C-alpha cells in the first residue's frame, strides 16, 4: 500500500512538472494600440494577375482609418472605408465599414501575440468560432503581412500584403495624398 502511495505521489508531481503549471511566468497584457501600428501605412496585394487590392491605414483618433480599393482589369470594383475604434473594455478594435457607400459590417480585431491577430464579425465576439468569415493575420516583417481568411465551410483564402510606399488610395502610382489627419 505504501508503495502504491509513493508511486501515485511521484506520478502527480511529474504531471505537475510536465504540464508547466508549477512555474509559469505571469501573462503580460498585449498593448493593442501599440501593436496595431504595425498595420499602418500603404499596402498592396496582387490577389491574381488582373486583380490588385490597395489598403491605406492611418492613425485616426483612438484607432485607425482604413481605405481599401479593389481593382480588376484596371477598373475599381469595390471601395471600402473603415474606422477602427479601440474599445478599452473589450481590449479590441471595433471596425465599422462602409462599402461602396453602404454600411457593411462591424468587426472586431485584436492581437493574440506580438505578430498575430484575429478579425471576426463583431456579432460573434462571444463565439469566435462562429459561422462567419474569420481572418487570422500575421506580421511577417515591417514590410509584409499575411492573412488567412477562413469561411464557415472551412475554405481558406491566403493573401499576402507588401508595403507600397508610392501609391494613392485611388491605386495610382504617385506620391500619397491623404485627405484626413495622419496623426492623433
pTM tops 0.75: no
Average pLDDT value for residue range 139-168: 88
Contacting residues for 71 by C-beta, under 8 A, at least 6 apart: 51, 52, 53, 54, 77, 171
Task: State residue 165's pLDDT score.
Answer: 75
Tracing cell 468587426 back to the chain, one arrives at: 107
Range of 121-125, 136-140, 163-167, 170-174 with top mean pLDDT:
136-140
Is the pLDDT higher at 7 or at 69? 69
Q: What is the mean pLDDT of the chain?
A: 80
pLDDT at position 50 is 85
Most confident of 13-22, 127-136, 140-149: 140-149
The structural domains of the chain, ordered by start, are 32-163 (2.40.128.20)
* Short-list 49, 54, 45, 47, CA closest to 73: 49
Q: Which residue has the higher pLDDT, 121 or 182?
A: 121
SS3 string, the chain, reads CHHHHHHHHHHHHHHHHHHCCCCCCCCCCCCHHHHHHHHCEEEEEEEECCEEEEEEEEEECCEEEEEEEEEECCEEEEEEEEEEEEECCCCEEEEEEEECCEEEEEEEEEECCCCEEEEEEHHHCCCCCCCCCEEEEEEEECCEEEEEEECCCCCEEEEEEEECCCCCCCCCCCCCCCCCCCCC
pLDDT of residue 18: 47
Give tens-digit pLDDT for 89-126. 999 999 999 988 777 789 999 999 999 999 999 988 88
Amino acid at each position: 500500500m505504501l508503495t502504491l502511495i509513493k508511486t501515485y505521489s511521484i506520478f502527480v508531481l511529474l504531471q505537475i512538472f510536465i504540464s508547466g503549471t508549477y512555474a509559469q511566468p505571469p501573462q503580460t497584457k498585449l498593448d493593442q494600440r501599440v501593436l496595431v501600428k504595425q498595420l499602418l501605412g500603404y499596402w498592396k496585394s496582387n490577389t491574381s494577375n488582373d486583380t490588385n487590392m490597395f489598403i491605406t491605414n492611418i492613425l485616426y483618433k483612438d484607432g485607425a482609418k482604413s481605405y481599401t480599393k479593389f481593382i480588376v482589369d484596371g477598373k475599381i470594383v469595390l471601395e471600402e472605408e473603415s474606422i477602427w475604434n479601440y474599445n478599452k473594455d473589450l481590449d479590441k478594435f471595433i471596425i465599422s465599414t462602409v462599402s461602396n457607400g453602404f454600411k457593411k459590417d462591424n468587426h472586431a480585431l485584436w492581437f493574440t501575440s506580438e505578430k498575430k491577430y484575429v478579425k471576426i464579425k463583431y456579432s460573434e465576439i462571444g463565439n469566435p468560432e462562429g459561422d462567419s468569415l474569420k481572418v487570422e493575420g500575421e506580421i511577417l516583417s515591417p514590410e509584409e503581412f499575411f492573412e488567412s481568411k477562413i469561411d464557415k465551410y472551412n475554405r481558406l483564402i491566403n493573401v499576402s500584403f507588401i508595403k507600397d510606399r508610392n501609391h494613392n488610395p485611388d491605386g495610382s502610382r504617385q506620391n500619397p495624398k491623404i485627405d484626413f489627419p495622419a496623426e492623433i
